[in-house]
Chain A
Amino acid sequence: MRRCWAGLAMAAVMVAGGCGLGDAGQGSAAPAAGTATGAANGEVKGKVSLQTWALKPKFTDYVQGVIDAFEKKHPGVEVEWLDQPGEGYSDKVLSQAAGGTLPDVVNLPPDFALPLVKQDLLLDVSQADPKLAGEYVPGGLDAYRYPGAQGTYGYPWYLNTDVNYWNSELLTKHGLDPKKPPADLDQLIAQARTLKEKSGGKVYLMSRRPELGDLANAGVKLMSDDGTRFTFNTPQAAALLDKYRGAFKEGLLPRDVLTDTYAGNAKLFGEGTVAWTTGGGNFITSLATDNPSLAPKVVPSVAMGTPPLYVQGLSIARQTKNAPAAIALARWVTSPENQAAFAHLVNIFPSTRASADDPFFSKSDGTNSGDAKVIAFTSLAKAKMLQPVQVSEAMNKFVRQQFALAMSGETTSQEALDAAVAKCDELLKG
């Protein structure tokens, strides 16, 4: 019997230990003493740390150049640059936040910053730097303002949005005009049907599931104004899902879009089996590396509906011991000149108002890649963050799962939306 219990105890340890979870962290970091109001005017000297996300080795020279210039401008300041790998960045930031070791200036997209704001771990930069609103575009600043929290919690760094990309060769070959791309979902479905019929089912136009952003684009309100509950289970949203369900049933989308086992629409587009994808302003440049023969045949066009806004920003740790230097560094990295220099290296767009008239972004060089850049830049004026930052990874997954059930016909669209809203509300309340 003793052996039996010993075996059970061991098994218990195997199971529970295997599933064991680390320390909860408890968010114990206390706010820094005093206030950072007007810290932008303090003396810039001493050590300050900057954390970026996967910029080495591709942009090492650029970032180091920016840092060197900052140190030259402010003698007596020393910048420690930390670059974290792309994979597991959220876990890294999480452990830094839980351990009270956040770098002074840290690259955080708005959804990463929100939980840190809730724990009072980030500095309200609008309070510390009153000139903020006049220098950065409103969309970028809005991304770092959260319901229930006063202030702005990051300097918008660079922006991007989605552009539609069409494979002109496939469209022309199967009777569609690449110069007349669909302007809404109904037209998209109609053209997808034509492509399927003319290609004998070998080529798809549509190859992705609807997401919350699609509902927002159709005019569905995703969340209440106070950010305390989700509201996207409307008849309008159900009607949109019904359209996708019909398209899926007709075979207008690959079957494996339901599980994401498919390669992804950008990948399938690159392989030439899908004639439409969305991507950032630099999509054609990266496609030219993977499929050089396809890249010249790609035609860009404006995204359907409201283009999504993607924002990267620099936040400042509330516990920083050197707020003046941290603020100066964040302003320096996100200045119009440094952002413009960065945008010359990669197709991203500056978040500063002063960059709006830069012809580099507003005039195409005549190539399809240049056209895409201009389309993306002009789209930014009306781009919005379509998905609320409160939507966590788990919520996103549940929503995708419910949408997949609706598309496959296992549940009705309304049931799927109701279940998704109930689960998201439950997770939001936590």
Chain B
Amino acid sequence: MTHRRWFTPWLLAAPAAVWLIVFYVWPSINTVVLSFSNAKPLGGGRFTGLENFARVLDDDQLADALLNSVVFMLVCLPLLTVLPLLIAILVEKKLPGIMYFRTAFYTPVIASAVVVALIWGWVLDDRGLVNGFAQWLGVVAEPVPFLTDRWLLVFSAISLTVWKGLGYYMIIYLSALGNVRRELHEAAAVDGAGPVRRFWSVTVPGVRNTMLLVSVLVSVSALRVFSELYVLSNGTGGPGGRAMSVVMLIQLYSRGFTGHLGYASALSIVLLAITIGPMLMLLRLNRKAA
């Protein structure tokens, strides 16, 4: 009808491209540059070579934070890859009132992470709902230190993350399950396969790529955990700051008038390198399975 101008696609892509460059690409490049300097919000910026990275190796708090982040990822990865799939299979069935359950599972997703963490903080506090109820029942004599013990704090944050993430990944699996052909299930059933066998031989292969996507998303977001641990520990990272995540440490170093932007950037690069590891492993596993 009309001659297509050569720049039309560029015009259409421009807003997204500009957004990406300004808010993702440029900050990423800037982070790499800053990691080799002693940059501060005011002043600094002298090239210091690998000094920040040498400091990383000697940072006890980073060792704690890395351990916390890795534990977070290792626990969240299987739970958030498998549980949402099972829930999706359950709520996929066309039963009366099933919409209620779908909505119930999805509701935590739309709530703000900070608000949810605040509520969980009140629930798990020494004087909170859980401890109050447990003490009333006589299950425990003293309150359980959910928020004042390093590992209990980390696992409380994991529980919160899993609870909040279930609905989100459930929706992804629901769309994937819709692509698994019903005939395959029927044929397997005719061949005598029970529900468990059909799950392993029909459903799982059918959603394997989605499981890989979910695994990658979960591992990246788990290694970058911030809000849950930050709010539950009121920003302190638990007793002695030993329940901090790597991102909390980055935030700690980069804040304020005297923020150590160079070192915080070096920590960001370390986190990036660590995030790439599990992703490569997952991709390799997927290729092998294929």
Contact = CB atoms under 8 A, between A and B. Distances in A.
A118 interface: yes
B201 interface: no
Contact of B224 (A15, A27, A408): A15
Interface stretch (B2-10, B108-116, B180-188, B246-254): B246-254
Contact of A18 (B34, B224, B279): B224
A402 interface: yes
Task: Specify which of B34, B147, B148, B247 lies most central, judged by the most chain A CB atoms within 10 Å of its CB.
Answer: B148
Q: 9 shortest A-B CB distances, which residue pairs?
A: A20-B27, A405-B240, A401-B241, A17-B24, A19-B268, A24-B39, A27-B43, A115-B257, A16-B28
Contacts of B253: 394
A116 interface: yes
Contact of A7 (B37, B38, B216, B250): B216
B18 interface: no
A20 B31 contact: yes
A15 B275 contact: yes
A119 B257 CA distance: 11
Contacts of B280: 8
A408 B239 contact: yes
A393 B255 contact: yes
B232 interface: yes
Contact of B32 (A16, A25, A98, A115): A16
A398 B253 CA distance: 11
Interface in A311-341: none
Given A261-B232, A261-B234, A402 B240 contact: yes
B239 A261 contact: no
B80 to A, nearest CB: 17
B24 A13 contact: yes
Contacts of B283: 4, 7
A427 interface: yes
A295 B259 CA distance: 41
Given A24-B261, A261-B125, A392-B257, A19 B147 contact: no
Contact of A115 (B37, B255, B258): B258
Interface of A: 4, 7-8, 11-27, 90, 93-94, 97-98, 112, 114-116, 118-119, 121, 254-256, 258-261, 392-394, 397-398, 400-402, 404-405, 408, 410-411, 427, 430
Given A115-B257, A260-B234, A397-B252, 9 more contacts: A8-B276, A11-B276, A15-B272, A17-B23, A19-B267, A98-B41, A255-B148, A261-B147, A404-B240
Nearest to B124: A261
Instruction: Summarize A's interface: helix, strand, loop or mixed.
Output: helix
Contacts of B45: 24, 26
B236 A394 contact: no
Contact of A258 (B143, B148, B275): B148
A93 B256 CA distance: 10
A94 B42 contact: yes
Contacts of A12: 28, 272, 276
A259 B234 contact: yes
Contact of B25 (A17, A18, A90): A17
A14 B223 CA distance: 12
Given A16-B27, A20-B28, A24-B45, A408 B279 contact: no
